[in-house]
């Protein structure tokens, strides 16, 4: 299990080079959210990020998304510094934040409408296709309030996929869902990722979810957020329910618990 990723191969999709992020809180205090964070994410890799609450996971995602500028170091996408939100990125947040007055299809195409003032026929067709992909083909004309939480989150995923982004950033996308829906959504995401490969950065608090989905897991330490370890999951794909009972699954899960939880909890 390598502490660092020293890849000398092809250019990574995402590179963090010694990134630091300092915030000033409303009472004037200084918050070191990220400190000396370096890692590479290769093309079409699925990376999960796990770590204690407040360790800077969302900040890391927001730096890649171009929503915050790091105070030190450099974040790159395809070798270029991230200075603003970029087209090749799709983002899924914890809450799908759908517009209640629009139907499902119009919610999916809304970013295009917002950006270009219109939605093309191709985009409408793509929205229909994506509705099929996320299992909501018959719900195109329903309002968000007529859908369950899991269905709404699927709409959020379809919306993020509409422009077929190379990079998908997901910030605890399933955390508001019940356990069964959550597992189902994980397998759904794996299916989508296999059908249309993408570089994925997936933030979660769930060790099993990280293990089921990811090629590698970035384990972060408590504030200031640093990379504690980068774990190669190495479980065979396709991952299925059987994956959950593989000895390696439990071995890595226990290892991560040892990293994330305090010694008092583990004793």
Ligand X SMILES: Nc1ncnc2c1ncn2[C@@H]1O[C@H](COP(=O)(O)OP(=O)(O)OP(=O)(O)O)[C@@H](O)[C@H]1O
Tell me if residue 191 falls in helix, strand or coil.
helix
Please state the closest distance from residue 224 (CB atom) to ligand X, in A: 9
**Phi, psi dihedrals of residue 149, rounded to the nearest 5°:** -60, -45
Which residue among 47, 55, 158, 213 contacts ligand X (CB under 6 A)? 55
Alpha-carbon gap, residue 195 to 207, rounded angstroms: 24
Alpha-carbon gap, residue 109 to 129, rounded angstroms: 12
Alpha-carbon gap, residue 205 to 123, rounded angstroms: 34
Q: Does 204 bind ligand X (CB under 6 A)?
A: no
C-beta of 25 vs 145, nearer to ligand X = 25
Please state the closest distance from residue 246 (CB atom) to ligand X, in A: 27
Which residue among 54, 197, 234, 258 contacts ligand X (CB under 6 A)? 54
Cis peptide before 238 (omega within 30 of 0): yes
* Binding-site size, ligand X (CB under 6 A): 12
Please state the closest distance from residue 84 (CB atom) to ligand X, in A: 17
Which residue among 13, 35, 47, 56 contacts ligand X (CB under 6 A)? 56
Please state the closest distance from residue 52 (CB atom) to ligand X, in A: 7
Please state the closest distance from residue 37 (CB atom) to ligand X, in A: 11
Least Cα distance to 140 among 129, 149, 148 occurs for 129
Q: Which of residues 63-122 bind ligand X (CB under 6 A)?
A: none
Task: Output the CA–CA distances (angstroms, integers) from residue 26 to 17, 29, 31, in the order listed.
Answer: 28, 7, 11
Instruction: Note the residues at the interface with ligand X (CB under 6 A).
Output: 23, 25, 31, 33, 53-59, 223
């Amino acid at each position: 299990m390598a502490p660092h990723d020293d890849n000398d191969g092809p250019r990574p999709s995402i590179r963090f080079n010694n990134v630091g992020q300092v915030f000033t809180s409303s009472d004037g205090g200084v918050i070191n959210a990220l400190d000396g964070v370096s890692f590479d994410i290769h093309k079409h890799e699925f990376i999960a990020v796990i770590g204690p609450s407040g360790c800077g996971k969302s900040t890391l995602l927001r730096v890649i998304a171009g929503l915050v500028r790091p105070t030190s170091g450099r974040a790159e996408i395809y070798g270029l510094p991230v200075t603003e939100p970029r087209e090749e990125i799709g983002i899924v947040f914890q809450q799908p934040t759908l517009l209640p007055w629009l139907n499902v299809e119009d919610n999916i195409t809304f970013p295009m409408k917002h950006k270009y003032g219109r939605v093309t026929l191709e985009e409408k067709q793509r929205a229909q296709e994506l509705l099929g992909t996320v299992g909501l083909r018959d719900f195109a004309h329903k309002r968000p309030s007529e859908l369950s939480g899991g269905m709404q989150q699927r709409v959020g995923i379809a919306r993020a996929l509409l422009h077929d982004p190379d990079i998908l950033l997901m910030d605890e996308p399933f955390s508001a869902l019940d356990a069964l829906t959550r597992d189902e959504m994980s397998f759904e995401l794996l299916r989508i990722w296999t059908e249309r490969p993408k570089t994925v950065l997936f933030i979660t608090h769930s060790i099993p979810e990280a293990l089921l989905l990811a090629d590698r897991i970035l384990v972060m330490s408590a504030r200031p957020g640093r990379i504690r370890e980068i774990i190669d999951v190495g479980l065979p794909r396709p991952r299925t329910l059987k994956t959950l009972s593989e000895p390696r699954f439990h071995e890595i899960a226990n290892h991560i618990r040892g990293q994330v939880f305090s010694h008092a909890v583990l004793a």
